[in-house]
Every structure is written in structure tokens, then in C-alpha cells.
Amino acid sequence: MESMGLVDGPGNRTLFFLQGCPLRCAYCHNPDAITTSGGKEITPEDILKTARRYRTYHGEEGGITFSGGEPLLQGEFLYEALEKLKNDGFNTCVDTSGIGNPKYYSKIMPLIDVMLLDVKAFDEESFKDICRGDLSVYLKFIRDLEKYGFQGMIWARHVMVPGLTDNKESMEKFVEILEPVKNRVERIEILPYHTAGVKKYEELKIPYRLEGVEPMDKDKAKELEIYTNKYFTESLHKERVEEAKKKQKKAKNILQNERDLKEKDKALIEEIKSLPLLKGISSEKMEEVLKEIHIIKKNTNDYVFQTDDEASYMYLILKGQVKIFYNTIDGKEQIFYIYRDQDFVGGLNLLEHESYLYNGQALTDCEIISIPREVFEEYILTNPESLKIILKMSFERIRWAEDLIQRLSTSNASMKTAGLLLRLKNSIGVETEEGIKLELSLNREELGNYSGLTRETVTRKLGEFKELGYIDLIGNKIILIKDLEALEDFVF
């Protein structure tokens, strides 16, 4: 144990060294900690007691670090100790070579705040040579870290031995190895090889494999550390630029049918001005709005936006219908809403500056106005009438979502089908002499996705309702509601 460590994790730390390591690093300066025998036996409770004693030294950032040996080799003990420490509010850090006992990884990883990740070497041969380990096991460890529930930060470390990895090419390989966890890497450290542990080898009568190798020049190690950190951040930056370009390209594709309003669009301009959401905007401001908005034409099945797209526009539907849905983990499509003329989508995402959680796809050929975020914030959010409409529609959507949850959680297929028909009545129903006409842009499968039923059940239920005289089916695309009360009885 070491009561006050300053380099093994953030802030001031209390260190515990766990006995035993499956590797045999040529430069290991703790050869006495490699075997599983030796050391002093303590319990997780002892760890907590000691940790509490030194808590005042830790300050805001510091905490407890487990090093070794290889702490992940004593999985059960480490898990119990970490759990106690986390429950007591300690910051936790584990120094690992990535070769431990996987049995406890999924219990341990969620409890680690900072991982000191040793990267011994960067190719199979050197890995075996320097630490007698298997690089593929190490790479799997890195790849699976998040799968095991690791949510912390990583300090990646490499011991630099002169003549082995003291060059830029090796440092670039170092960065490549970190690829699967790059978003968690907070810093990269180069530890210059030193010969302080050689004496222990003599005492233990173990041959020292790096006999005659000079200590690593500290300045050169620092230089390469700076190079590696720069190379790492540059490659992250490059990746982000690439991603941004891809997104831009996608956005261009999405907006490929977009056009500005022209003088000749007089009728269209009047239609836009009279849209309830834009109605209260003064004519002066409206001129500005008209300059900034665009008209997008979408064909049936085209996407208006997709999950994870950055929300930069509010979409206001002029003509047509758009379904809002997401794909569940079992691959099914769950439809939440069907929007049509004068409905808007995306307002909340603009307010929250967040990406879309769902997909928006045209159910019919559509004409949609795209309103850029800046226009939304400057002209719509500041207009009381628009705000009232946004609020009203938001409440309606909350009510609808509650209704949807109720419909999906009920096991009664009749109730689900009746609820679906009533919802469709509210959004697309047209009163006729024969009844309320629903002209569908959804096929039976989509009706099922909208109601939480299978296609077969929807078809069967609609057939039953027809037989009971509640509805009439005209081809595949038209439903006529003939007995509204009967349907309402199922739901209310």
C-alpha cells in the first residue's frame, strides 16, 4: 500500500498493490509482485477502512488506485472492494495490463472511474517478446470494455524502452490500438524505461532480460509523448471532419428537392402566410421568414429525417402525410404519429439542440416547409400566437402518447383496433353521408405497427368490425366508420 500517490490517476491517491500477474514484462520493476503468493492478506472491508482514513488527503479529484501485479486477476476481491468504495463515494482507478480474469469484468468495469491502461507493445511479436503475453487477448479486452459496462475515462500508458518503441512510427501504432476506446482516452503517457528495479532481480536471483539496456532518455520520451498526444487529437479531429462531411452529404441528399420561394409562387406564399403556426408574425418579419425558409418535395417513402440526424430545421407539412417511427431492438417498426397538412415536427429538438430520436418518412408525396433553427428561434418562438399553437399541439401529442402507451399495454386486440380507428379518425377522417371516411396511406402492416398488433390481427379485427357493422372496407385503402359510438365503447 502507498498512502499518497500523485501519478497513478487524478489528484492525490491511496494506492493498493494486488499480488499476482499473468505477464512477465522484461522491465517489470515489481518482480516480487508477479507470483500469486506473498504479500499481506487483507479484506475489502480493510480497504474501505484505510481509504476512509486517508479521505481528507484525496481532495476533490483524488481517490483510490489499485495497481499490482495485475488487479484484474483477483476479480472477486477487486469487485467487492470497488463496490464498497463506490458506495462510500470514492473515486476509483485501476491500473491494468488488460490481461486478467474475465469472469468478473462485467461486475468490475461499471465501478471504475479511471483506467490506467498499459499498452505494452503494438504488434503480436513484440507483445510476446516484451511481456510474454498474447496481443489478441489484449485487443479483445479493449474492444469489449464498453460491453462490460466500462463508462469511465482512460489514461493510456506505455513504457518506452530505447531501441524498441522510441520512434514516431511506433507511437502511431500505439494510437491505432486505442481506436476502439478513443472516445474515452483522456491522456496518453509515455513512461521512460528505468533500471531502478534491477537490484530486485539480483536479490530474487531472476535473470534480467534487458541487461545492458540504458535508461530511456527522459527528454526524448517527453518529445514522443507530445507527438503521440498531438497525433491522437489530430486523428480524432480528422475523423470528426470526415463524419461532419458525411452528415453534410446526407443532409444534401435529404434536401435535394429543396428550393427557395420565388416571386411567382404568389399563391403558395399566401398559403404559407395563412398557416396557423405563422399567422401572428407581422408582415415585416414575415418577409424575412419567407427569405429563409425552403420548400421540400418528398416522394412516398422518402425520409424527411432519420434517427441521429442533427436537428437543424423545423418541418411544417404543407401537403401529404409523414409517419414518425423508430425501429425497436427486435427490428419492428413502431409508429408514434402520423402528421399531415399544417402539422409541424422538430420544434422540441430545436429547442433542446438535440438530434432526432426517431425517423420521419413520407407516407404520401409531400410538400414540406423547412424552417432553419435561427428563423425558428427569432420569429416563431418570439411570437405568442405561434407559441400557443406549439404548446397546444405538444399537449395533444403528450395525450396521444399516453393513449398509445395505454393501447399498447392493453392485451385486448379489439380495444387496440378501435383505438387505432379513432386516432385515424381524428387525424385524417372526413365526414361523408355514408360515415366517416378514412383514406389510408398506411398498409395493413403499418396499421399493425401503429397499433401494436400484427398485420394478421389487424386484418382479422377489421374483418370482424365489418361483420358487426361498425365499419365498411372499400378496397384496401378506404375504411368507412359507420358506428362511431360502438368503437368509442371499446376505448372509453
Considering the rule CB under 6 A, would residue 25 count as an interface residue with ligand SF4?
yes
Applying CB under 6 A, among 15, 18, 21, 375 the residue interacting with ligand SF4 is 21
Q: Under the criterion CB under 6 A, does residue 200 sit at the interface with ligand SF4?
A: no
- Which residues neighbour 427 within 8 Å (Cβ) at sequence distance 6 or greater? 338, 340
- Residue 9 beta carbon to ligand SF4: minimum distance, rounded to whole angstroms: 16
Q: What residues contact 346, with CB distance under 8 A and at least 6 apart?
A: 305, 311, 313, 314, 315, 356
192 binds ligand SF4 (CB under 6 A): no
Under rule CB under 6 A, residue 24 binds ligand SF4: yes
Return phi, psi of residue 372, to 5°. -60, 155
Residue reference for cell 361523408:
432
Residue span binding ligand SF4 (CB under 6 A) among the ranges 65-73, 179-187, 200-208, 481-489: 65-73
Give the C-alpha separation, 230 to 397, whole Å: 48
CA distances from 169 to 4, 228, 257, 322, 394 (A): 36, 10, 47, 52, 56
**Selected binder of ligand SF4 within 70, 80, 343, 446 (CB under 6 A):** 70
Collect all residues with Cβ–Cβ distance below 8 Å to 228 and sequence separation of at least 6.
171, 174, 175, 188, 190
Q: Return the number of the residue (27 or 150) whose C-beta is nearest ligand SF4.
A: 27
Considering CB under 6 A, how many residues would be counted as binding ligand SF4? 13
* Residue in 11, 30, 257, 319 binding ligand SF4, rule: CB under 6 A: 30
Q: According to CB under 6 A, which one of 5, 10, 62, 68 is a site residue for ligand SF4?
A: 68
Q: Is 74 in the site for ligand SF4 (CB under 6 A)?
A: no
Minimum CB distance to ligand SF4, residue 94 (Å): 13
435-447 in b/e form (b: 16+ CB < 10 A) is: bbbbebbbebebb
Least CB distance from residue 159 to ligand SF4, whole Å? Answer: 8
Q: Which is nearer to ligand SF4, 19 or 441 (CB)?
A: 19
Mapped onto helix, strand or coil, the DSSP state of residue 129 is helix
Smaller CB separation from ligand SF4, 121 or 390: 121
Stretches 63-71, 207-215, 241-249, 430-438: which one binds ligand SF4 (CB under 6 A)? 63-71
Shortest gap between Cβ of 134 and ligand SF4 (angstroms)? 13
Distance CA 212, CA 348 (A): 67
Asked if 165 is part of the footprint of ligand SF4 (rule: CB under 6 A), the reply reads no
Which of 131, 156, 368, 487: binder of ligand SF4 (CB under 6 A)?
131
Q: Note whether 350 binds ligand SF4 by CB under 6 A.
A: no
- Closer residue to ligand SF4, CB minimum distance, 201 or 339: 201
Please name every residue paired with 303 in a beta bridge, in sequence order, or none if there are none. 361
Give the nearest distance from C-beta 33 to ligand SF4 in angstroms.
6
Give pairs for 181-187: CB < 8 Å, separation 24+: 181/117, 181/142, 181/145, 181/146, 181/154, 182/232, 182/236, 184/145, 184/150, 184/152, 184/153, 184/154, 185/153, 185/154, 185/155, 185/156, 185/232, 186/114, 186/153, 186/154, 186/155, 187/155, 187/156, 187/229
- ∠ CA 390-392-394 to the nearest 5 degrees? 65
CB under 6 A: which stretch of 26-34, 50-58, 252-260, 374-382 binds ligand SF4?
26-34
Stretch that binds ligand SF4, among 44-52, 66-74, 210-218, 417-425 (CB under 6 A): 66-74
Q: How far apart are CA 261 and CA 372, in angstroms?
A: 14
**Whose Cβ is closer to ligand SF4: residue 72's or residue 366's?**
72
The verdict on 121 binding ligand SF4 (CB under 6 A) reads no
Give the separation between CA 71 and CA 87, rounded to whole angstroms. 20
Give the binding range for ligand SF4 (CB under 6 A) out of 22-30, 193-201, 323-331, 374-382.
22-30
**Which span (37-45, 68-76, 161-169, 184-192) binds ligand SF4, by CB under 6 A?**
68-76
Shortest reach from residue 116's CB to ligand SF4, in Å: 11
**How many H-runs (helices) and E-runs (strands) does the chain carry?**
18, 20
**94 near ligand SF4 (CB under 6 A):** no
Using rule CB under 6 A, residue 454 touches ligand SF4: no
Of 117 and 311, nearer to ligand SF4 (C-beta) is 117
Helix or strand run (H / E) with residue 451 = helix 444-451
Query: Which of 18, 23, 156, 362 contacts ligand SF4 by CB under 6 A?
Result: 23
CB-nearer residue toward ligand SF4: 32 or 403: 32
DSSP string, 250-309: HHHHHTTTEEE--TT-HHHHHHHHTSTTTTTS-HHHHHHHHHH-EEEEE-TT-EEE-TT-
Q: The cell 428537392 sits on which residue?
A: 257
Contacts of 437 (CB under 8 A, 6+ apart): 429, 430, 431, 478, 479, 480, 481
Among positions 97, 321, 349, 361, the unique one binding ligand SF4 when judged by CB under 6 A: 97
Stretch that binds ligand SF4, among 23-31, 204-212, 291-299, 474-482 (CB under 6 A): 23-31
Rule CB under 6 A: which residues touch ligand SF4?
Answer: 21, 23-25, 28, 30, 33-34, 68-70, 97, 131
